[in-house]
């Protein structure tokens, strides 16, 4: 596929994917980079599953900006249908056209000698109403129509209804759609397709079969440190290591909502703002609400703060 896209940065190797994404600030694990590489080589969409805030959406954005491709995003929600995802008829334009046609009817039908001929002429106009001219392309169709290819992000597919998945199957396997009035529209250039899911519901087998599966969980400590380094300017190495160490301790607790990478980044920014150079008990206690989103989780974590801060500090020395 890469060879067909003269303008997009080609994927030379898994390492090239890693460094290309890193240049956009996205620190990919080997597993993520491999999935991106393979997806392009075998022209299959990637279905990215994992908890909120681990970089699923950002992965699609980073691929697009690295490769110089436009990103088209379809945000899924309950009730999302074909008219919002694929295409809609331009009703207002059709109405306007009807009005003009009505005014011109005499002129148009003037030449027709018989009723049959008049009907034939009207029929030709009917076809015009359901032609490309009157189609409003929505994200899926827009993606197929990009002459230079694009990254199509179908975000949070698990939020849409199960029936919506069937609409995607043809696009995901053949990069084309069939519209009854228009026929089959094939992609000008097959898009790079990323689907994401927070696993709020199980996805259908037909959809899964068409995709490479990639699970992104919470990153290992070293990787998360690199993510913080990439995203948070002006943070000391000591603080970076300690705060990531602390978060890894917090994640061992039984919480309603575990802090994700996005919370790690937010917390790191807050601590830098407070001019911290290393983790301290009071500062942690006062900023726990940046990390934990439920009062019950804050209460569950508070008794452990002293131990976790100490552990994080020790790790800094030996780690």
Ligand X SMILES: Nc1ncnc2c1ncn2[C@@H]1O[C@H](COP(=O)(O)OP(=O)(O)O)[C@@H](O)[C@H]1O
CB of 180 to ligand X, least distance (A): 35
CB of 221 to ligand X, least distance (A): 13
The site partner of 53 among Mg ion, ligand X, none (C-beta below 5 to 8 Å per kind) is: ligand X
Residue nearest to Mg ion (CB): 57
CB 17 within 8 Å of CB 26? no
CB of 70 to ligand X, least distance (A): 18
Return phi, psi of residue 122, to 5°.
Answer: -65, -40
Choose between 268 and 305: whose C-beta lies nearer to ligand X.
268
Residue nearest to ligand X (CB): 55
Can you tell me the distance from the alpha carbon of 134 to that of 179, in angstroms, rounded to the nearest whole number? 13
Choose between 237 and 306: whose C-beta lies nearer to ligand X.
237
CB 17 within 8 Å of CB 33? yes
Choose between 56 and 240: whose C-beta lies nearer to ligand X.
56
CB of 289 to Mg ion, least distance (A): 22
Match 């945000």 to its residue by tokens: 75
CB of 183 to Mg ion, least distance (A): 35
Choose between 18 and 165: whose C-beta lies nearer to ligand X.
18
CB of 175 to ligand X, least distance (A): 24
Region near Mg ion per CB under 5 A, out of 54-62, 80-88, 136-144, 296-304 = 54-62
Pair of tokens at residue 25: 């600030």
CB 313 within 8 Å of CB 278? yes
Choose between 40 and 155: whose C-beta lies nearer to ligand X.
155
Choose between 55 and 190: whose C-beta lies nearer to Mg ion.
55
CB of 205 to Mg ion, least distance (A): 24
The site partner of 283 among ligand X, Mg ion, none (C-beta below 5 to 8 Å per kind) is: none
Q: Based on DSSP, count helices (H) and strands (E) in the chain, helices before strands.
A: 15, 9
Strand partners, 151: 71, 192
Q: How far is CA 6 from CA 45, 176, 219, 281, in A?
A: 20, 21, 34, 55
CB 84 within 8 Å of CB 248? no
Can you tell me the distance from the alpha carbon of 49 to that of 157, in angstroms, rounded to the nearest whole number? 10
CB 110 within 8 Å of CB 164? no
The single residue among 39, 57, 242, 260 that binds Mg ion, judged by CB under 5 A, is 57
Choose between 54 and 309: whose C-beta lies nearer to ligand X.
54
Nearest to 225 by CA among 27, 55, 57: 27
User: Using CB under 6 A as the criterion, which residues of the chain lie in contact with ligand X when the complex forms?
Assistant: 25-27, 52-58, 196, 227, 230-231, 261-262, 265
Nearest to 245 by CA among 286, 287, 270, 278: 278
Half-sphere exposure for 139 (CA within 13 Å, toward CB) = 18
Binding mask 160-199 for Mg ion (x = CB under 5 A): ----------------------------------------
Which parts of this chain interact with Mg ion (CB under 5 A)? 57
């Amino acid at each position: 596929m890469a060879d067909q896209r003269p303008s997009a940065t080609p994927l030379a190797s898994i390492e090239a994917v890693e460094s290309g994404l890193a240049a956009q600030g996205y620190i990919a694990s080997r597993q993520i980079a491999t999935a991106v590489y393979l997806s392009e080589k075998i022209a299959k969409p990637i279905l990215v599953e994992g908890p909120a805030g681990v970089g699923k959406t950002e992965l699609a954005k980073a691929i697009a900006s690295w490769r110089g491709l436009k990103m088209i995003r379809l945000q899924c929600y309950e009730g999302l249908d074909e008219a919002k995802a694929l295409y809609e008829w331009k009703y207002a334009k059709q109405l306007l056209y009807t009005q003009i046609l009505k005014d011109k009817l005499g002129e148009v039908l003037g030449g027709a000698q018989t009723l049959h001929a008049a009907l034939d002429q009207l029929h030709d106009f009917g076809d015009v109403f359901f032609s490309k001219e009157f189609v409003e392309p929505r994200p899926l169709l827009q993606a197929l129509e990009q002459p230079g290819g694009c990254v199509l992000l179908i975000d949070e597919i698990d939020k849409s209804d199960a029936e919506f998945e069937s609409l995607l199957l043809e696009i995901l396997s053949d990069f084309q759609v069939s519209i009854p009035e228009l026929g089959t529209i094939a992609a000008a250039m097959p898009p790079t397709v990323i689907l994401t899911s927070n696993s709020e519901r199980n996805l259908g087998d037909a959809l899964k079969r068409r995709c490479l599966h990639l699970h992104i969980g919470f990153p290992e400590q070293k990787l998360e440190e690199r993510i913080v380094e990439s995203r948070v300017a002006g943070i000391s190495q000591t603080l970076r290591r300690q705060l990531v160490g602390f978060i890894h301790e917090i994640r061992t607790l039984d919480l309603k909502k575990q802090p994700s990478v996005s919370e790690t980044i937010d917390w790191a920014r807050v601590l830098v703002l407070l001019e911290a150079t290393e983790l301290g008990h009071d500062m942690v206690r006062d900023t726990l609400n940046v990390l934990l989103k439920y009062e019950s989780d804050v209460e569950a974590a508070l008794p452990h703060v002293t131990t976790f801060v100490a552990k994080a500090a020790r790790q800094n020395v030996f780690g």
